Structure 1
Amino acid sequence: MGLLHSVKAKLGPAKGKVSDFAQRHEGKIHHGLDKAAQAVDKRTKGKYSDRIRSGTGRAKGAMDRLAHQGERGPDGGGTTPPPGAGAMPPEAGRAAPPRHPAGTTPPDDAPPPAS
């Protein structure tokens, strides 16, 4: 028996307990995440508000997946969380675009190439 297999076998019951706990206390966990995010945002004087909001949304989403693990809808997929639960702001999942992608010209204010 491989190490990974034995670890999975030992953690199987714990996974169910954590999922059950998350499902029973979902509202309290969401409230705690919001409260922690507000405290951090206040301490950083709003400097990292977007990142805090993004991280909080991701944490709520992960918690929702854990709480509703094993539940399947009629199409065989997972259930859809309630509206607004764990939702991330639209800008949260987007990466900043590159300054000038390969194969395009650099901006006009770029220094000329060395000769």
Structure 2
Amino acid sequence: MGIFDKFKSQARNKGKHRSDSAEQRMNERTGGKHEDQIDAGQQRVEGQLGMDRDRDRERPDQQ
């Protein structure tokens, strides 16, 4: 793994962590009423940024 791959992996992990934190805060603020919509929005944004959860599960060597 090259140095740029390492930086890319670290950035992806930070992005996922922040995305998950934001989702959790939004669910807490709404009392979980809109959990499905928040999750769908999070997945859509992550997909647009290239952070698809399904794709990362298929290729664990990228993490």
TM-score range, shorter chain: 0.5 to 0.7
RMSD over aligned Cα, in angstroms?
2.4
- One-letter code aligned to 2:40: S
Distance in 1 (CA, whole Å) between partners of 2:32 and 2:47 is: 23
The equivalent residue for 2:45 is: 59
Distance in 1 (CA, whole Å) between partners of 2:13 and 2:36 is: 23
- One-letter code aligned to 2:24: Q
* Structure 1 residue 81: Cα displacement: 2.5
- One-letter code aligned to 2:17: H
Matched, 1:47 2:21: no
Distance in 2 (CA, whole Å) between partners of 1:27 and 1:63 is: 13
- One-letter code aligned to 1:64: G
Unpaired stretches in structure 2, ≥5 consecutive residues: 59-63
* Structure 1 residue 64: Cα displacement: 1.1
TM-score, normalised with respect to structure 1: 0.38
Identify which of structures 1 and 2 has the higher relative contact order when contacts are C-alpha pairs closer than 8 Å and 6+ apart.
2
* Alignment: residue pair count: 49
Matched, 1:82 2:56: yes
Correspondence for 1:32 among 12, 18, 35: 18
Could you tell me the percent identity over the aligned residues? 29
Q: Which structure is higher in helix share? A: 2
